[in-house]
Amino acid sequence: MNFIPYGRQNITEEDIDAVVNVLKSDYLTQGPKVPEFENAIKEHCNVEYALAMNSATSALHVACLALDVGKDDIVWTTPITFVASANCALYCGATVDFVDIDPKTYNLSIQALREKLQAAKIESKLPKVVIPVHLCGQSCDMEAIYELSQEYGFSIIEDASHAIGGSYQNKPIGNCQYSDITIFSFHPVKIITTAEGGVATTNSDKLAQKMDLLRSHGITRDTELMTHKPDGPWYYQQIDLGFNYRMTEMQAALGVSQIERLQSITKSRHKIAQRYNEQLACLPVITPFQIQESYSGLHLYVIRLKLDEIKPTHLEVFNSLRAANIGVNLHYIPVHLQPYYQKHFDFQTGDFPQAEQYYKEAISLPLYPDLTKEQQNYIVATLEGILRND
């Protein structure tokens, strides 16, 4: 069997044509394709603003800045996420802390969040922003997090890097009903891709304007934002310290072409996941648990090994799958155990026990639209052989 990655982009002839057409056009950057992609996102999410950027990491950074995260602030997220969900706060000079995960959904635990907020209030160490991550594409309990935000006065950035195409309470993820800003990633392993790329959505005029400035040097050509009348037609003003986080036209054209297939891509992910659910039901593994309110974007299919029912260790199962050319992965190493976080913030092993237990058992199986039935059968049969240790 050829190598099977855990995730892979789905590229059609239409996608290729869309990119090539941009290359033959007048604009490789700052042309019509980025607004077109943003409009497609707005329409899909039913949200007021969508701002495309060169990555979700960039979008998380400017989202934090737009919410005025600074050096005296604390930002909370989950330890089971990609490091970017936490790093964005550090870029702003803020401190990061974590909320342990729910042992069933692997998303940030509402009970742990509530308890941590109660304790933080007493110590006057409440977070300015909480960043829930929709792990694997399954929405967090956003209504509960929103209610807590009203009680304790924090802002919310949804890291929906795994979740475009999914919904919560029958509304598309990204509509920001229960958050200030939502972030999507379009890295090739994610649900749809722009090679590199990300988007921030919001319903707030003020946040959209701030993120728009920050993604392009803090420069404006809008006379209403300027301190005085333009000197001439060449004129622009830098009114904030921004970055070059812009998405290119080639990326946006790919995004426009990809998002047309979002529904069918999400459906095929569900079909594959459903087959895994059925085929793995009798194996000593825990298959993904889904809350009723969420329809997952299904970026990832994570199983947990029932280690007390099998002979091989987690590492042995993982190594055997890799040796069989199955590109399993582990999402994620708890962020608080990363050397950088241990060195700078004094986090210890044992701080977030549910996250650490998850890390000892989790394996992400391959999941992407072009995964064939034969490949999937091979993955399941190989896993079964390893778990039965024969």
Ligand X SMILES: *Cc1c(COP(=O)(O)O)cnc(C)c1O
Q: x/- binding map, residues 227-246, to ligand X, per CB under 6 A? A: --------------------
**Nearer CB in complex with ligand X: 183/207:** 183
- Verify binding: residue 61, ligand X, rule CB under 6 A: no
User: What would the 3-class secondary structure string for the chain be?
Assistant: CCCECCCCCCCCHHHHHHHHHHHCCCCCECCCHHHHHHHHHHHHHCCCEEEEECCHHHHHHHHHHHCCCCCCCEEEECCCCCCHHHHHHHHCCCEEEECCECCCCCCECHHHHHHHHHHHHHCCCCCCEEECECHHHCCCCHHHHHHHHHHHCCEEEEECCCCCCCEECCEECCCCCCCCEEEEECCCCCCCCCCCCEEEEECCHHHHHHHHHHCECCEECCHHHCCCCCCCCCCCEECCCCCECCCEHHHHHHHHHHHCCHHHHHHHHHHHHHHHHHHHCCCCEECCCCCCCEECCCCCEEEEECHHHCCCCHHHHHHHHHHCCECCECCCCCHHHCHHHHHHHCCCCCCCHHHHHHHHHEEEECCCCCCCHHHHHHHHHHHHHHHHCC
The one among 81, 193, 320, 329 contacting ligand X by CB under 6 A = 81
Q: Identify which range of 9-17, 94-102, 154-162, 271-279 contacts ligand X by CB under 6 A.
A: 154-162
The one among 57, 179, 201, 376 contacting ligand X by CB under 6 A = 57
**Nearer CB in complex with ligand X: 320/364:** 364
CB of 297 to ligand X, least distance (A): 11
Q: x/- binding map, residues 165-204, to ligand X, per CB under 6 A? A: --------------------x-x----------x------
CB of 146 to ligand X, least distance (A): 20
- Verify binding: residue 329, ligand X, rule CB under 6 A: no
- Verify binding: residue 139, ligand X, rule CB under 6 A: no
CB of 198 to ligand X, least distance (A): 5
Residue numbers at the binding site for ligand X (CB under 6 A): 55-57, 81-82, 84-85, 133, 159, 161-162, 185, 187, 198
